[in-house]
Structure 1
Amino acid sequence: MASVKKTLLSLNAALFIMAAAMSVSPVGYVHAASEIKFVVNGVPVTNYDIQRRAAFLKLQRKKGNLTQLAGDDMVDQTLKRAETARLGIKVPDDAVNAAYARFAKSNKMTPAQLTGILDKAGVTAPHFKEYIRTQLGWNQALSSRYKAQGGTMSEQDAVRRMLEKGGNKPSATEYMLQQVIFVVPASERGSIGKRKKEAEALRQRFTGCDSTREFAKGLLDVTVRDLGRVLAPELPTDWAEQIRATKIGGATPVRETDRGVEFIGICRTREVSDDRVAKSVFQAEGNEEDQAGELDKKYTAELRERAKIVQR
């Protein structure tokens, strides 16, 4: 659900950072003797959690009782984390760090500079990264719920609504992709450096998708998957930037994932313009964002209704 993806890291605006970075004053929160303020289905939420979230909301220029808003936020985050775990959704550190780096870049700073500002403001990088992890997992949960409820728009409806708004049927790049996974079980993560070198060696030999399986034949626990045709607006968020930057017949840099280490080969591309493209572009432009927001609120309200939340 493209519009759901747009809720990721919806901090709005050339965020808090550029507006607030120079005016942020140090925040002296006490790190010791954290006091439990809420227990959410047996999971504690401490005053330190709430203080960091309140500092985060302050950077976003939120109004109102920030401590109360932060408490509600942390209760919701705890519920969302539990729900994504129940659904078997795992967000690897690599995806979180990549999102953190992209966020820093979008605000014209390095990850180290972003970390410095977050620390100075009393938010801290670990707190923000946990927020990112929750949002990435929650996005997947929302997408699953959306699909389960049959919340899809037909291609013909997308074209009609686009033309009604005065637009033309759009074109988009269609990618033929191949994914190469060097599997590393969780119990063998200590040897991931060796697997990275093996993956990099294969990536450097990559000249197109036809020969990948031949090159991978003598290697242990290597999976080659043809991903088929993927439109530019539908590229996986954590790979999209690297895929777009890679030439046809080339491969993205090697990355750690929850499966091991991977890269994606670009078999070929072409420009296409059809109803499927119209639907993809229409959704990617956020024309279903209102639906996404309503689904988010409804799903979160359901979790709250079923939860046991004790305030201390």
Structure 2
Amino acid sequence: MAIIRTARSASRAALMALALAAGIGWHGPALAQTKIAALVNGTPILSSEVSERQGFIRLTKRKTISTRQALDSLVDEQLLLQEAKKRGLTISEADVDERFTAIATNMKLSTDQLGQALAQGGASSRTFKSNIRNQLIQRKLLPALVKAKSAVSEQQIAAAMMERKQKGESRSYRFVLQQMVFVVPAGSSPAYAAQRKNEAEAFRKRVNSCEAAVAGARGMRDVAAKPQVIRLSAQLSSSMRDQMGGMSPGQTMPVQQSESGMEFVVLCDKKDAPDDSALRNEIQNELAGKASEDEGDRLLADLKKKALIQYR
């Protein structure tokens, strides 16, 4: 199991799920009487923690995991926490509380309200804070495990670049992009947001160049043209890179909702970028990430061999 990953903050989908749980007042199943589910080098994992982990995954990732899967993930986390402690890597409660408060604030909730939303979804503040602590520990533990970027050899990078070229995936472009924003103020009704999306979509269909988009926006209410930006293929997400690769200047991307409102991107210019440096950097980062995961998996496997894990 690849337990060590680059730590990420709670996703927008996770936050929305929690907010939804708070709004509809859905209650998860009542917890059974708490008992010890496992001992990891003498440290107990309680059955209530297992149930809450299942609720947390169901609420934030919209999927169901078995009791054993939840227990195994808690065992893995405990092993990593114990190893981090041996290496002198600790996370203070203040750091965890600060991150928990920041997430609640981002959702426009108090910490108590966030805790209630978690409880209504079958999880708890304890579970969420445990997840935060584990992510913060991983951030500290990963650099101590492997200097992945320097560990990737030039031969590995060259081989991967050659494979991309043989598959025809290596063509790189230099894009000039214009982002158009139909502002939707925070707190607006869903009906108003839908109206703005329709307005943005109607405007997008009339656009045939970046100049036309900027000129048209001048006469419209609460419509902004952001400064043009230059992006190389390797700097874009794979889906956006694929879409942009098949577009011509003057064409537009679909309307998307953002924190500012309804947005779409106009392709102003597109040229071949013969420089392989962006592709090389992308491949190096991919290989480095894989090296980190592999090293983390090896560490976890080694810890399991040495650990005394007792399932009850």
TM-score, scaled to structure 2: 0.51
Q: Distance in 2 between matches of 1:45 and 1:20?
A: 25
Question: Which has the higher Rg, Structure 1 or Structure 2?
Answer: 2
The aligned runs of 1:1-312 (5 Å cut-off) are 7-9=6-8, 13-19=11-17, 21-22=19-20, 25-30=26-31, 33-59=33-59, 60-65=61-66, 67-107=67-107, 109-147=109-147, 151=151, 166=172, 288-312=288-312
Tell me by how many angstroms 1:308 deviates.
1.3
Tell me by how many angstroms 1:83 deviates.
0.7
**Residues 6 and 145 (structure 1 numbering): CA distance in 2 closer, same or farther, change over 3 Å?**
closer
Tell me by how many angstroms 1:28 deviates.
4.3
**Residues 37 and 5 (structure 1 numbering): CA distance in 2 closer, same or farther, change over 3 Å?**
closer
Q: Distance in 2 between matches of 1:109 and 1:287?
A: 39
Contact 2:118 2:124 (C-alpha < 8 Å) held by counterparts: yes
Q: Distance in 2 between matches of 1:89 and 1:108?
A: 32
Q: Distance in 2 between matches of 1:106 and 1:287?
A: 33
- Amino acid across the alignment from 2:52: R
Q: Distance in 2 between matches of 1:118 and 1:133?
A: 17
Contact 2:149 2:285 (C-alpha < 8 Å) held by counterparts: no
Tell me by how many angstroms 1:148 deviates.
9.0
Contact 1:37 1:44 (C-alpha < 8 Å) held by counterparts: yes
Q: Distance in 1 between matches of 2:83 and 2:297?
A: 14
**Residues 50 and 7 (structure 1 numbering): CA distance in 2 closer, same or farther, change over 3 Å?**
same
Helix, strand or coil: the match of 2:147? helix
**Residues 96 and 284 (structure 1 numbering): CA distance in 2 closer, same or farther, change over 3 Å?**
farther
Q: Distance in 2 between matches of 1:100 and 1:285?
A: 29
Helix, strand or coil: the match of 1:123? coil
Helix, strand or coil: the match of 1:84? helix
Tell me by how many angstroms 1:150 deviates.
5.6
Contact 2:101 2:111 (C-alpha < 8 Å) held by counterparts: yes
**Residues 6 and 69 (structure 1 numbering): CA distance in 2 closer, same or farther, change over 3 Å?**
closer
Q: Distance in 1 between matches of 2:13 and 2:151?
A: 31
- Amino acid across the alignment from 1:291: A
Tell me by how many angstroms 1:51 deviates.
0.8
Tell me by how many angstroms 1:120 deviates.
1.5
Q: Deviations over 1:202-253 (max 9, x none)?
A: xxxxxxxxxxxxxxxxxxxxxxxxxxxxxxxxxxxxxxxxxxxxxxxxxxxx
Helix, strand or coil: the match of 2:120? helix
How many residue pairs end up in the alignment? 197
Tell me by how many angstroms 1:123 deviates.
1.4
- Amino acid across the alignment from 2:304: R
Q: Distance in 2 between matches of 1:165 and 1:296?
A: 33
Q: Distance in 1 between matches of 2:284 and 2:96?
A: 22
Contact 1:115 1:124 (C-alpha < 8 Å) held by counterparts: yes
Q: Distance in 1 between matches of 2:99 and 2:284?
A: 18
Q: Deviations over 1:132-160 (max 9, x none)?
A: 11221122112111139963689xx89xx
Contact 2:53 2:123 (C-alpha < 8 Å) held by counterparts: yes
TM-score, scaled to structure 1: 0.51
Q: Distance in 2 between matches of 1:99 and 1:17?
A: 14
**Residues 289 and 107 (structure 1 numbering): CA distance in 2 closer, same or farther, change over 3 Å?**
farther
Tell me by how many angstroms 1:47 deviates.
0.5
Contact 1:27 1:120 (C-alpha < 8 Å) held by counterparts: yes
RMSD: 4.1
**Residues 307 and 99 (structure 1 numbering): CA distance in 2 closer, same or farther, change over 3 Å?**
same
Gaps of 5+ in 1: 169-277
Tell me by how many angstroms 1:283 deviates.
10
